[in-house]
Chain A
């Protein structure tokens, strides 16, 4: 790796982060009535980011690091370092494209929303924060983007004033990820103080010289943050609720930002994890649970966005599973294809919701007739999610499953997940697009500027896998190991068609349906294990603070006052007692003086 500062690539990185950030900050100051300017700023930010990322890809330079000193605390130097390699550029390009699609789509989707201006600006800042994570060459700078992204997701999820759930979901998203970030921060602190530098290249180079325990602790601490951001069990609970945000925001969060950040950071800091077998095992177990949990919860959800949200949780499990066996490229490959088809699916779901006026699958049906474009693009998206060849998801999922061959238990979970994914995707497809059109609903494709992102995203959702294979043949091996996943996907589809063609089997589950869709009651567990105890502690702390800590102070005050009036009464006493008092006082003073003298103060 060349470590020379490179003016061009550093300048491009600064521009890539700075332009959306600056335009976003300017956008925050635009008066709310001024929609055109807000939209122009938002689109310009994303478009320029895409352009810069494309230029960086075209230059195709080797890994380059540029460093600028930021601030030094004692001997610890914090730098404004950027690190650019092909993976970072591809990630940045993905972020930019999804952000651009979301910005364009939002203009129509949020028509009539008074708070569109700050919304568009916050998306720009969100994009800039993710790009900071992607390009950062310093752990502290990475943390800046990491947390800023959490704050932006908080603001955007809370955007919708019509939903009473939105502020609650937003707080939950921020707090659950923040709990993970306690670990993330401590992990960074541990690595930084042990290595003596926060620069990622220094840290990765220094991992080898650290003892095993330190590396394991650091990796596990970092994993806590990663689990929070990338919605891994047990910190996944915020993601399904986060769909209370506007649908384009779900697309952004689920595809290219937030959840992608965790996967990317594990890939970026991979040597730290690789040096600790224990951390890799934990990652694998976490991934296995997450991918099955997400897939199973997705089968029962009636809310179309919730189905997609659980499927994101599940697909993130696949990416983490690949990382846990060291298949970094497979994980990133799946991240890219997933970004394309999941953004597409969310934006398509937005078009359906726009028409129906409800998120619920039970209110949808027969939509293929009036909405051919939405139908075709979402079919591509769902096919990619299932892994139907030759759509993008097929290639990346095969790549992940093949890599899992060495860990049979994880491989089995992944295979089971494929069948379940196929089943719930088929259910969604049939319940939304086939059957009877509900009364009062008139299906129609969305207006032009909402169509454009659907078409744009459908292209990579269909062709990205093939394209990547054309460039790098080693990502997928064609052989007998492909048969089982494909057969399981086929089985899932077949079962789905059989069970969901006429009616929704989930309704027959009764009360178990909502319980499964809510994630097997883990929210309740989290509430009673963490939230309520903290609340109780808070109430106790407040009570003690008022009654005991402040009580002592007030008590001292009252005692002083009582002593004062007592002394006043005493002073009115007869002479002998007064004399005795004076003598006693003198003795106390003398004793104090002698004591002080003895201990050597005076």
Chain B
């Protein structure tokens, strides 16, 4: 039963989460790793049914009384994200097996990670709008719990801000979902619903707001630095790695897929905001004094490139956005892992209290150097394609507005280099800081968690076709070509 595969991909982590939560700490964490690995295996399988359009699809009435359908599907747009989610969860569960932050109880943390995974996977697989909304919401509370329990000193406040801010977005998403379902009588996401132009405009407005909060798009980004900074390492990795992608994915699949005309009208606004995000995010990074906060703000800038690609609405832009999505997940995930490792050792994230890491821990310093170079969009590594071709996409749309946006975005690329090199200089170079004296270099369990991301960053840099070729066949992007 091939079609049940997608259901299993969701059921395994969900069931795993329930079992892991009640097991003893260490056993639970171990089981969580196996569950995550199994999920990764299941999530990787759909590639065998690769074709144009939907690769795999299942659709049956779930709660007929509400018109709720279990409609799942995977195509070239969602597949790389599904795989990235599964991979990062494996790495995070493995990392938790080795190191659980205070106050312990790693099995509960692992269980929450699996629950979050199930929610994110369901978001990427859902082809029914109501299901999509439920999945989108499922992620929220476990993530807030991860921040509130295992986070840094100001965790409660950050978790509350994260939860309330994204809930505000979700309320609007709900409004949009209800509007679409009640106007068309169906929540099917695989077809463009017949909506009047005005209705499209309103509905796209609320969708865009919801996804802009999640992505996050400037100026709706201020929940992100607090959440990322206070979250435990695994929380930051999942947040930056895949949670933000729910926003960009939603914008492509729901915003663009269901309300294409309104999307096209609003595209210039989105583009301008995206470029604002690039510049403001990068500038704030330049003045930032805390390690994790800096990386968090860098996400605002990088997601700006992805949103710019989406805003162009062209094939080039969408493909660039998809590559950028994955690249950002890999590289920022890696950066957060490394930042967590440094903070665990030095017990401080203040850049002024760090320095000389390469003297004390050359491997760790080497890896953070690699991650920073990747993150600044060095050609040959994953980060380059998404950003360079977002600029190409904006430029090839032509006209003074988009040309300006392309130029400003390119300048943002130079700013990214400035703040990441500043980060390296503060952390890696110079004399050894007292906080880093005597700290140990990278350890094996850490290296095991990081190496897959390093390999992916190189692999996707050399072979971006791995993401673009599957996406090229997706119906949504083929439609974008037609228009």
B418 A600 Cβ-Cβ under 8 A? no
Known A155-B369, A193-B396: A549·B320 in contact at CB below 8 Å: no
A220 CB to nearest chain B CB (Å) = 13
B212 CB to nearest chain A CB (Å) = 13
A74 B464 Cβ-Cβ under 8 A? no
B252 CB to nearest chain A CB (Å) = 15
Residue B2, interface by CB 8 Å: no
Residue A28, interface by CB 8 Å: yes
Known A28-B366, A76-B392: A186·B284 in contact at CB below 8 Å: no
Q: At the interface with chain B, which of A58-66, A176-184, A501-509? A: A176-184
| Nearest-neighbor residue (CB-CB) of B320 within chain A | A73
A140, B380: Cα distance in complex, Å: 10
A175, B418: Cα distance in complex, Å: 6
Give which listed residue, A75, A186, A600, contacts B196 with CB less than 8 A. A600
Known A182-B413, A185-B388, A542-B287: A115·B430 in contact at CB below 8 Å: no
The interface residues of chain A lying within 8 Å CB-to-CB of B179 are 601
Known A28-B366, A71-B464: A175·B414 in contact at CB below 8 Å: yes
The interface residues of chain B lying within 8 Å CB-to-CB of A557 are 161, 164
Known A541-B284, A545-B280: A147·B468 in contact at CB below 8 Å: no
The interface residues of chain B lying within 8 Å CB-to-CB of A175 are 414, 417-418, 421
Residue B378, interface by CB 8 Å: yes
B391 A186 Cβ-Cβ under 8 A? yes
Residue A70, interface by CB 8 Å: yes
The interface residues of chain B lying within 8 Å CB-to-CB of A115 are 358, 362
B222 A537 Cβ-Cβ under 8 A? no
A392, B272: Cα distance in complex, Å: 55
| Nearest-neighbor residue (CB-CB) of B289 within chain A | A542
B392 A192 Cβ-Cβ under 8 A? yes
A118 B429 Cβ-Cβ under 8 A? no
The interface residues of chain A lying within 8 Å CB-to-CB of B199 are 600-601
Residue B219, interface by CB 8 Å: yes
The interface residues of chain A lying within 8 Å CB-to-CB of B221 are 549
A545 B284 Cβ-Cβ under 8 A? yes
A441 CB to nearest chain B CB (Å) = 29
Please report which residues of chain B, range 393-451, place their CB below 8 angstroms from some CB of chain A when the two chains form the complex. Answer: 393, 395-396, 406-407, 410-411, 413-415, 417-418, 421-422, 425, 429-430
Residue B198, interface by CB 8 Å: yes
| Nearest-neighbor residue (CB-CB) of B396 within chain A | A193
| Nearest-neighbor residue (CB-CB) of A171 within chain B | B421
Residue A143, interface by CB 8 Å: yes
Residue A110, interface by CB 8 Å: no
Please report which residues of chain B, range 124-138, place their CB below 8 angstroms from some CB of chain A when the two chains form the complex. Answer: none
A541 CB to nearest chain B CB (Å) = 4
Known A175-B421, A538-B286: A73·B196 in contact at CB below 8 Å: no
B395 A538 Cβ-Cβ under 8 A? no
Residue B319, interface by CB 8 Å: yes
A598 CB to nearest chain B CB (Å) = 10
B430 A73 Cβ-Cβ under 8 A? no
A541 B283 Cβ-Cβ under 8 A? yes
Known A175-B417, A175-B418: A71·B465 in contact at CB below 8 Å: yes
Residue B254, interface by CB 8 Å: no
Interface string of A6-41 (1 = CB under 8 A from B): 000000000000000000000010001000000000
A309, B425: Cα distance in complex, Å: 24
A531 CB to nearest chain B CB (Å) = 9
Please report which residues of chain A, range 159-183, place their CB below 8 angstroms from some CB of chain B when the two chains form the complex. Answer: 161, 164, 166-168, 170-171, 174-175, 178-179, 181-182
Residue from A148, A181, A601 with most neighbouring chain B CB atoms (10 Å): A601
A512 CB to nearest chain B CB (Å) = 32
B254 CB to nearest chain A CB (Å) = 18
Residue A189, interface by CB 8 Å: yes
Please report which residues of chain B, range 364-404, place their CB below 8 angstroms from some CB of chain A when the two chains form the complex. Answer: 366, 369, 373, 378-380, 384-385, 388-389, 391-393, 395-396
B392 A73 Cβ-Cβ under 8 A? yes
A178 B198 Cβ-Cβ under 8 A? no
Residue B236, interface by CB 8 Å: no
A-B interface pairs (CB < 8 A), number = 142
Known A182-B410, A538-B287, A549-B222: A171·B425 in contact at CB below 8 Å: yes
Interface of A is mostly: helix
Q: In which size bucket is the chain B interface?
A: 35 or more
B392 A189 Cβ-Cβ under 8 A? yes
| Nearest-neighbor residue (CB-CB) of B288 within chain A | A542
A188 CB to nearest chain B CB (Å) = 9
Residue A190, interface by CB 8 Å: yes
B23 CB to nearest chain A CB (Å) = 38
Known A147-B378, A185-B410: A73·B389 in contact at CB below 8 Å: yes
A169 CB to nearest chain B CB (Å) = 11
B414 A550 Cβ-Cβ under 8 A? no
The interface residues of chain B lying within 8 Å CB-to-CB of A599 are 198, 202
B379 A193 Cβ-Cβ under 8 A? no
B421 A181 Cβ-Cβ under 8 A? no
A171 B379 Cβ-Cβ under 8 A? no
Please report which residues of chain B, range 282-334, place their CB below 8 angstroms from some CB of chain A when the two chains form the complex. Answer: 283-288, 314-316, 319-320
Residue A586, interface by CB 8 Å: no
Please report which residues of chain A, range 514-562, place their CB below 8 angstroms from some CB of chain B when the two chains form the complex. Answer: 534-535, 537-539, 541-542, 545, 549-550, 553, 557
The interface residues of chain A lying within 8 Å CB-to-CB of B380 are 144, 147-148
Residue A308, interface by CB 8 Å: no
Give which listed residue, B198, B388, B430, B472, contacts A600 with CB less than 8 A. B198
Residue B359, interface by CB 8 Å: yes
Residue A151, interface by CB 8 Å: yes
Residue B34, interface by CB 8 Å: no
B82 CB to nearest chain A CB (Å) = 21
Residue B192, interface by CB 8 Å: no
The interface residues of chain A lying within 8 Å CB-to-CB of B463 are 71
B222 A171 Cβ-Cβ under 8 A? no
B395 A190 Cβ-Cβ under 8 A? yes
A192, B285: Cα distance in complex, Å: 32
Residue A154, interface by CB 8 Å: yes
The interface residues of chain B lying within 8 Å CB-to-CB of A147 are 378-380, 384
Give which listed residue, B287, B385, B429, contacts A541 with CB less than 8 A. B287
Residue from A158, A168, A535 with most neighbouring chain B CB atoms (10 Å): A158
The interface residues of chain A lying within 8 Å CB-to-CB of B421 are 154, 170-171, 174-175
Known A545-B222, A553-B222: A74·B196 in contact at CB below 8 Å: no
Give which listed residue, B283, B379, B464, contacts A538 with CB less than 8 A. B283
Q: List the 4 shortest-distance A-B pairs measured between CB atoms, nearest first.
A: A538-B286, A167-B429, A74-B315, A541-B283
Q: Which residues of A contact B (CB under 8 A)?
A: 28, 32, 70-76, 115, 118, 140, 143-144, 146-148, 151, 154-155, 158, 161, 164, 166-168, 170-171, 174-175, 178-179, 181-182, 185-186, 189-190, 192-193, 534-535, 537-539, 541-542, 545, 549-550, 553, 557, 599-601
7 A-B pairs in the complex with CB atoms less than 8 angstroms apart: A70-B465, A73-B320, A189-B391, A542-B287, A553-B161, A553-B222, A599-B202
* Extra 19 A-B pairs, beta carbons < 8 Å, given A151-B373, A539-B287: A70-B465, A71-B463, A71-B468, A72-B472, A147-B379, A171-B422, A178-B417, A182-B411, A185-B388, A186-B410, A193-B392, A538-B285, A542-B284, A545-B280, A549-B219, A549-B221, A553-B165, A553-B223, A600-B198
